[in-house]
Chain A
Amino acid sequence: MAVSRAEQWFPVATATDLVPRHVFQGELNDVELALWRDDDGCVNAWENRCMHRSVRLSLGVNTGRRLRCQYHGWQYRSGDGQCVVVPAASQTPPPASVSARTFAVAEQHGLIWANLYEPTGTPLNLSEHWQIQDDSQHPLRSFVLHGDAASVTDMLLEYQHCDGQLGASAVSTQSTPGALSLSWTEDGQAQRVVFMLQPARRHKTIVHTLLTVPPTMNEQQLARWELRHNQTMNRLRQRLVESGRLSHMPVPGQEFVPAPPRESTSRARARMFEARVTRRYDAAEGIVAFELEPENEADVGALADFMPGAHIDVTTPADSVRQYSIVSLPGETNASGGRNVPGITLGVKREEDSRGGSIAMHDGMHAGHRCRISRPKNHFRIANNRGALMLAGGIGMTPLVSMAQYMQAAERNYALHYFVRSEAHVAFVERLERLAHYMPHIGLSPQDTEAQLKILLAALDDNSDVYVCGPRPFLDAVVNIAEQVGVSNDRVHFELFSNTISHANDEAFRVRLARSDKELEVPANQSLADVLIDHGCAIETSCEQGVCGTCMVPVLEGEVEHRDVYLSADEKQANSCMQSCVSRAKSSLLILDL
């Protein structure tokens, strides 16, 4: 029976191989793997290659929540493999497109299983397949045999003859693709070993062995079994090598084989996972707090690693996707969850005139409700080692409260100013009360707000930056006043859900697509590439920083403001093309040959 490749789960290590803070080097069907366990115990199976310069990740370091590449220190977080730190640009969040190539992974029968494709099936389950109880399996030492999986399966039938005690006993065998079971009776006891085969490379198969352990077996007997199996396998290997059926040594110069490409739909799907509302309460008038944690064991660490200021995407009960900032700190566990699993707290304001996301959240999300969410995304974060003047307008306080708590814990210089309509609208009071440098400004008129902002910004010390989040008029006021009082714009950081390149002084422009006769508006806070993709243009992006050249588009008319480092000065001068991920327009209209 043909097994579809999606169902092809293979063992890639034993569970005990993945010790804490270690990066295990593995192989599956010629693809090299970096396998590692985070401090929560979650296992990651990634292609063993940093996306930046293809250095083996197994040369790097498991820091507990992230894997750090040894070459340039890029850090990829556990779970989705998102790159969260690029030290060469420590103050800008890495583009969302940079992530390790992750594979589906599972832990079962004391083995780690991986699937290089978009999996639909599950790893071979012994209790379902052969009615063998799961909890009685003990992995013995795994062996590397330099032969292909099919011939190794045949060779394992000789295991019996290499075992000193088994001799000519009657052994019954059962087999299924990739697994073989031997059982017999010894001293009146039923015995069974199961071999699980890992096709590491074309000419290399790793034999994982599970011993069925009866409840009566003690530690000493188990230790004897470990030695016995080791001896048997050594004998078997020697016999096979001597008879020329197996190669003695690894085949030299093994070629690099890239991982199978990600299937297009898998990326989006992998980025969302199921979470549960463990508690819901009123944080203030019109603001509801939701405590969330991952629903499934496989996603336990999914909310553990983010930088204060992060947000997540939430699929609301109305089936729309909305972004909400996280108000809690990384690593917090929700008391309401009772599972001691890292979770997060969101604050959602009811917006009556919105498109319905917040209303659906308020009306439809109750304790115990399950929803699909993304892992934390960090477009907004503490940008550097300087101090922070944080200016929050209304519900814009949520990311700033997380940042302020972080700054306080790190004993760094900060102040949080919260501009809010009334006492009743002050949200998350219990968190605010623990902040040493918190100042509410309640019920100020727009004029008074501006006056207060002017005082604060004028008094800004040289060693601090400004962080602002709030409604658009509040944000504009801060940006304008900062400029008036001489605070340079690179010191003003705000949440605009765009990454990497500052859009602080960007202006909107229009593009006309000559071939498809369309005219589009590129708003100040969006890149040309994003707008083109949203309107169905087949533009590919990669680095999203104007370095790699992938998103180049041809320009027919209009003056381009080149912001990339890909094109040479002459090419920029020629004005015949542009990098749509970063570059914009000096003229109000660009005509593109699209």
Chain B
Amino acid sequence: MLTLYDYELSGNCYKIRLFLNILELPYERREIEFFPGQEHKSEEMLALNPLGQLPVLDDNGFILRDAQAILTYLAQQYAPDSGWYPVTDARRLAETNMWLAFANELTTTSSAARLHEVFGYELDVDKARSGAYELFQILDERLWFSERRAGGWLGSGAEPTVADLACFPYIILADEGGMSLVDFPALRRWNDRIKRIPGFVVMAGVFNTSPGCECACA
């Protein structure tokens, strides 16, 4: 049985719920009040994750922290042939790992800005925002070229990987961090593509989009 130590408003937790839903994996949700309860810093949670961070996954006693690591584990353990984590293609695997690391950068910038803006965390929000904007620019450029010469995803394949899911939450939640995506149109189109992946689910603050064009005409 999979157990996810989870907080609704956390983007890093959301990406795990999103992927579990895409893979149609049942799981038990343990809600941990991140704010203002600070339950992720409780003794019980520190025993599971000494870093005091969410999410944490418990797969029948196998305890794993770090959202990106959990994504790759779920892909390889439960959907090894799906292409979500392309281990048999050295280049695509490397690209996926590269963008997974990029997702961590988003946590220290875009997510940090949101922590300040919504939960009142005291941190250098201008630095967080300008760091986030630099990352958005890099992503937007990659996606503009990917739309033309590849599948419109972060990697070079025709299908998305766990890296797309890993980067998605703190992009789509940018507004809540006091940032705008108006200057990053390719990023906004990619948001729509993610929303059309079968099995997509929302979190608080993320909304569904319409089905793609082939289903047409209301």
- A25 x B181 contact (CB < 8 A): yes
Q: Mark B190-206, 1 if CB is under 8 A from A, else 0.
A: 00100000000000000
| B189 at interface, CB cutoff 8 A | yes
Residues of A contacting B73 with CB < 8 Å? none
- B189 x A19 contact (CB < 8 A): yes
| A13 at interface, CB cutoff 8 A | yes
- Could you tell me the distance between the alpha carbons of A22 and B191 in the complex, rounded to whole angstroms? 10
Q: Mark B166-205, 1 if CB is under 8 A from A, else 0.
A: 0000000000001011110100110010000000000000
| A115 at interface, CB cutoff 8 A | no
- B213 x A230 contact (CB < 8 A): no
| B47 at interface, CB cutoff 8 A | no
Residues of A contacting B216 with CB < 8 Å? 39, 64
B142 to chain A, nearest CB (A): 11
| A408 at interface, CB cutoff 8 A | no
| A454 at interface, CB cutoff 8 A | no
- A250 x B148 contact (CB < 8 A): no
A230 to chain B, nearest CB (A): 7
Number of A interface residues at 8 Å Cβ cutoff, please give it: 34
| A559 at interface, CB cutoff 8 A | no
| B60 at interface, CB cutoff 8 A | no
Q: Mark A60-82, 1 if CB is under 8 A from B, else 0.
A: 01111110101000000000000
- B207 x A59 contact (CB < 8 A): yes
- Could you tell me the distance between the alpha carbons of A85 and B182 in the complex, rounded to whole angstroms? 28
Interface residues of A in 36-78 (CB under 8 A from B): 39, 58-59, 61-66, 68, 70
Q: Mark A239-250, 1 if CB is under 8 A from B, else 0.
A: 000000000111
Q: Mark A13-27, 1 if CB is under 8 A from B, else 0.
A: 100010111101111
- A22 x B145 contact (CB < 8 A): no
| A335 at interface, CB cutoff 8 A | no
| A223 at interface, CB cutoff 8 A | yes
Residues of A contacting B178 with CB < 8 Å? 252
Our pick among B182, B213, B217 for the contact of A25 (Cβ within 8 Å) is B182
- Could you tell me the distance between the alpha carbons of A13 and B185 in the complex, rounded to whole angstroms? 9
- Could you tell me the distance between the alpha carbons of A141 and B148 in the complex, rounded to whole angstroms? 11
A145 to chain B, nearest CB (A): 10
Residues of B contacting A58 with CB < 8 Å? 188
Given A64-B218, A66-B218: A250 in contact with B189 (beta carbons within 8 A): no
B197 to chain A, nearest CB (A): 15
- Could you tell me the distance between the alpha carbons of A141 and B180 in the complex, rounded to whole angstroms? 20
Q: Which residue of A lies closest to B192 (CB)?
A: A22
Residue from B130, B181, B210 having most chain A Cβ neighbours under 10 A: B210
Our pick among A62, A68, A144, A223 for the contact of B149 (Cβ within 8 Å) is A223
- A39 x B213 contact (CB < 8 A): yes
Q: Which residue of B lies closest to A65 (CB)?
A: B218
- Could you tell me the distance between the alpha carbons of A25 and B210 in the complex, rounded to whole angstroms? 17
| A226 at interface, CB cutoff 8 A | yes
- B217 x A64 contact (CB < 8 A): yes
| B212 at interface, CB cutoff 8 A | yes
Residues of A contacting B213 with CB < 8 Å? 20-21, 39, 64
| B141 at interface, CB cutoff 8 A | yes
- Could you tell me the distance between the alpha carbons of A86 and B21 in the complex, rounded to whole angstroms? 32
- A24 x B188 contact (CB < 8 A): yes
Given A70-B207, A250-B133: A25 in contact with B188 (beta carbons within 8 A): yes
- B185 x A17 contact (CB < 8 A): yes
Q: Mark B114-136, 1 if CB is under 8 A from A, else 0.
A: 00000000000000011001000
- Could you tell me the distance between the alpha carbons of A227 and B217 in the complex, rounded to whole angstroms? 37
Residues of B contacting A13 with CB < 8 Å? 185
- Could you tell me the distance between the alpha carbons of A145 and B144 in the complex, rounded to whole angstroms? 17
| B42 at interface, CB cutoff 8 A | no
| A331 at interface, CB cutoff 8 A | yes
Residues of B contacting A230 with CB < 8 Å? 141, 145
Residues of B contacting A21 with CB < 8 Å? 192, 209-213
Residues of A contacting B182 with CB < 8 Å? 25-27, 32
- A65 x B210 contact (CB < 8 A): no
A295 to chain B, nearest CB (A): 23
- A61 x B210 contact (CB < 8 A): yes
- Could you tell me the distance between the alpha carbons of A26 and B130 in the complex, rounded to whole angstroms? 21
Q: Which residue of B lies closest to A201 (CB)?
A: B182
- Could you tell me the distance between the alpha carbons of A70 and B209 in the complex, rounded to whole angstroms? 10
- B148 x A226 contact (CB < 8 A): yes
- B189 x A249 contact (CB < 8 A): no
- Could you tell me the distance between the alpha carbons of A58 and B207 in the complex, rounded to whole angstroms? 12
Residues of A contacting B149 with CB < 8 Å? 223
A71 to chain B, nearest CB (A): 10
- Could you tell me the distance between the alpha carbons of A65 and B210 in the complex, rounded to whole angstroms? 11
Q: Mark A131-170, 1 if CB is under 8 A from B, else 0.
A: 0000000000100100000000000000000000000000
- Could you tell me the distance between the alpha carbons of A32 and B95 in the complex, rounded to whole angstroms? 36
Interface residues of A in 243-288 (CB under 8 A from B): 248-250, 252
- Could you tell me the distance between the alpha carbons of A25 and B187 in the complex, rounded to whole angstroms? 11
Interface residues of A in 163-208 (CB under 8 A from B): 204
Residues of B contacting A204 with CB < 8 Å? 183
A-B contact pairs, 11 of them (CB 8 A): A24-B188, A25-B188, A27-B182, A58-B188, A63-B218, A64-B213, A223-B149, A248-B130, A249-B129, A249-B130, A331-B217
Closest 10 CB pairs of A and B: A20-B213, A144-B183, A61-B210, A63-B210, A25-B182, A63-B218, A21-B210, A249-B130, A61-B209, A70-B207
Measured CB to CB, the residues of B under 8 A from A are: 129-130, 133, 141, 144-145, 148-149, 178, 180-183, 185, 188-189, 192, 207-213, 216-218
Apart from A61-B209, A66-B218, 9 more pairs, CB < 8 Å: A20-B212, A22-B188, A25-B185, A26-B182, A62-B209, A64-B210, A68-B210, A249-B130, A252-B178
